[in-house]
Every structure is written in structure tokens, then in C-alpha cells.
A = this chain, B = another copy of it.
Amino acid sequence: MGDIDIANDTVSADVVAKFDLPAYLHSQQAIVASHLESALEPRYPERLFESMWYSLSSDGKRLRPILCLAGCSLSGGDPELAIPTACALEMLHVASLIHDDLPAMDDDDYRRGKPANHKVFGEGIALLAGDALLAYALEFILLNTRQVPAERLLRVMHTLINRVGISGLVGGQAVDIECEGREDIDLETVEFIHTRKTGSLIDAAMVTGATLAGADDDTIARLSRYARKVGVAFQIVDDVLDVIGTRQELGKTPNKDEKSRKATYPRLFGVDGSMQRARELVDSAKKEIAPFGQPAVPLLAMAEFVCTRTS
């Protein structure tokens, strides 16, 4: 893609407000679902495969795949290029959820409205299903990505691997479980956890989508800043919903964070203070991408949705 003249291109709040986000999300979710449906061939050992598929086929928002496709489109790429990576992002996300739910970690019995993976398949197979999904996500990209130069594909792999490991998901989860039961968790630590546990893959989604399209460094940097801000806002709202939601709405055990004394925004700033922080982050994220104009509308609407969702 060529350079985008961001100075001459903005988008009004009105256009974003009129954008039919539910229809957009629904259509994108359908695209992702159809590709995930055929992504995992049944194979031996069947129980491991069933365990992988059990969690991957759960009803999720598919936020990360959708962001990846949107990042590719905004950068002028054919979103078709990004479909394998979009699917891989969901596999990586699901892998981390399976591990996080294990008794040795967050010990959660419900996920996405049904029993957690280890409650159905046992802890051993659940642990392996997480490992297998992590590896398969990366293999899926290598097996299915077409018409992307090898160097660009290596950058995509590097981004994903980095955001999964000690600098990303795993590092965030490690600090999270170390904080459990402690009363003295400061904001810096809370933000460290959120930027890693939630922000990492949201960031990876935008960066890989743009990278696959051949975006320039400035575009990638703007999308990355957008992603990091939206990612933290998303987690703040998640924590708030955990306090005020019900299990039926969330598909997982509510008020669990409070019971385990985990570091959360509501604990430090209350519900109103937390929602205000989420709003500031979303507004700042929108400023990063507003200059892209019309192509940014879905991402602007999604940022807005992060603050207004109820489940």
C-alpha cells in the first residue's frame, strides 16, 4: 500500500455513530467462524483433538481475528491475506484461556457459558490442548498464508510469538497469579497485567493485520497504540462487568476477582473511576486512527463499543 495522507482525512463522530457495528461484527464473526470450522481436522489422538475443538468452537466475540482483518483492510490489504493469521489469533487466545482456567492458575470452572476445558477433559488433556493450540496456531499460518513474502511472514510470526511469551500473555499471567491474595497491588502492576494479558494479542492482531498488508511503519505504530489503549480499556470494562454482571451475562463466574482479591481497576478506583479511565483510553485510541478517515470507521466504532458493552 502507499502512504496515507492522514492530514487531509478525518472522520466525524456522526459517521461513526451511524455505522452499523452489530451487522459488521456479525458478518466478520461469520467469516472467522467458517474458517475456524474447517481449521481443525479431526485426528488421532481424538480426545486431544476434541479438547482443542471444544474450546475453539465456543461462542466467543472473535475480537482479535476481527481486529486483524480490520487492520489489514485499513492498511489497504485484501483481508483474505489475513484470514489464517486471524484464525491463529483466536487459537492463541483460546490456548491462553484454557491454561488460565486451570486449578493451578485462576481455577475457573466456567468459560464462555460452558464448563471450562479441564472440567470436561481433565487437567492433563486441557493443559496439552493449550500447548497444542499454541503450536497449531503458528503452523496454521505457515500452512495457509498465500501471496505474502517470506520476510513479512517472519515478522508476523515474530510479533505473535513475542506477544504470547514472557513479554506478553505469559508474563502478564505470571504477575497476575503472583498478586493473588495480596492487598498491596499498585496501579503500575495492574496496568502491567492488563497490557500483557489482554493488550498483547489485541496489539498483535492490529500489527499482524497491517504487516500482512505491507503497511508502513507509521501506520503500524498508530494501530499498535490504538490497540494497546483499547486493550487496557477492554480489560477495565471486563473487571467492572465482573463486579456488576451476572454469570448468565458473562458466561463465567461473576465477582470471582473480588473473591480471590486479584488486582483489578474496580478495587483501586471503584466502578465509576474505572469507567472514566476506560473512556479516556478509548478517546485517545480513537484519535490515533481518526486521521485514516473512512477506512477507520469500523475500528472507531469498535473502540466506542468497548466502553458501552454490557457483556
Contact = CB atoms under 8 A, between A and B. Distances in A.
Contact of A134 (B47, B48, B52, B134): B134
A129 to B, nearest CB: 8
Q: How many copies does the complex hold?
A: 2
Contact of A135 (B48, B124, B149, B165): B165
Interface stretch (A12-20, A154-162, A226-234): A154-162
Contact of A154 (B126, B153, B170, B175): B153
B132 A104 contact: no
Contacts of A135: 134, 161-162, 164-166, 170
B45 A128 contact: no
Interface in A134-173: 134-136, 138-139, 142, 149-151, 153-154, 157-158, 161-162, 164-166, 170-171, 173
A187 interface: no
Nearest to A126: B104
Given A47-B178, A104-B123, A178-B45, A128 B161 contact: no
A49 interface: yes
A45 B171 CA distance: 6
B158 A43 contact: no
Q: Which of A52, A135, A178 has the most CB of B within 10 A?
A: A135
A174 B171 CA distance: 26
Nearest to A136: B165
Contact of A105 (B48, B127, B158, B173): B127
Contacts of A52: 166
9 contacts: A99-B127, A99-B128, A99-B131, A104-B127, A125-B178, A128-B173, A134-B165, A139-B158, A154-B154
Given A45-B171, A48-B174, A134-B135, 9 more contacts: A45-B175, A45-B178, A48-B171, A49-B166, A104-B104, A104-B124, A131-B170, A136-B165, A142-B154
Nearest 7 CB-CB pairings of A with B: A135-B165, A104-B123, A150-B150, A48-B174, A132-B170, A104-B124, A150-B151
